[in-house]
Amino acid sequence: MRTGLLGGTFDPPHTGHLILAEHARVELELDRVLFVPNSISPFKTTRHISDADIRAEMVQLAVSDNPHFSTELFEISRQGVSYTVDTLRHLTAKHPADEFILLMGADTFTDFPHWKDPDVVVSLAQLAVGVRPGSTHDFSSHQYKNNAIFLHTPLIDISSSSIRRRVREGKSIQYLVPWAVKIFIESTGLYRE
């Protein structure tokens, strides 16, 4: 089975995440895409992040209407700082027949050489890098360019931080997040403070 992995903080998950995952699923002929919310990102330790259980619930709500999407909660269940290499080791042991494709954006790929054990990561999964129209990224000398497939993705200018800001400011987030996530955010009062 060809399995795409999309990891992140997902605070909150938004339409851009879903569009990237669906675009990759179709273009790369993936059987499924697993959304992997992290417990603690090694790259986002300086800002307040919503509780892992809340983020996991929002991801499950976000992917619930796509039969090709599901949620993998390994990083949340093991707690602590989440490293992709540990998740890939777990998943390849759990699903040895699967071929894993790690989905990421161009900015993330730029930082990939600084991840924990990137050589092990590329031995366990193919990298698929989403590049937006008009991107100025030049990966011609990137250390891992030969381990990556580059996908031209639709331009979706949505970020979790802009959604949190809009909620704080009392602005609409309709169509920026899936309906179920919007209802969850509104009913729990998440991001209002």
Domain ranges of the chain: 2-157
pLDDT per residue over 3-59, tens digit each?
A: 999 999 999 999 999 999 999 999 999 999 999 999 888 876 556 899 999 999 999
**How high is the pLDDT of residue 145?**
95
List pLDDT tens digits, range 78-120. Answer: 988 999 999 999 999 999 999 999 999 898 999 999 999 999 9
At residue 3, the pLDDT reads 99
Which pLDDT does position 193 carry in this prediction? 80
Tokens of 151: 């996908």
How would residue 155 be classed by pLDDT, with cut points 50, 70 and 90?
Answer: confident
* Higher local confidence (pLDDT), 105 or 68: 68
Q: For residues 13 and 70, what is the distance between their CA atoms, to the nearest angstrom? A: 13
| Per-residue pLDDT reduced to its tens digit, 110-151 | 999 999 999 999 999 999 999 888 888 889 999 999 999 999
Cβ neighbours of residue 10 closer than 8 Å, sequence gap 6 or more: 17, 35, 37, 55, 58, 59, 62, 160
Helix (H) or strand (E) holding 89: helix 84-94
pLDDT value, residue 98: 98
Region 57-75 average pLDDT: 98
- Predicted model pTM: 0.94
Q: What burial letters (b/e) apply to 131-168, b meaning 16+ CB within 10 Å?
A: ebeebeeebeebebeebbebbebeebeeebeebbeebe
CATH 3.40.50.620 fits domain 2-157: yes
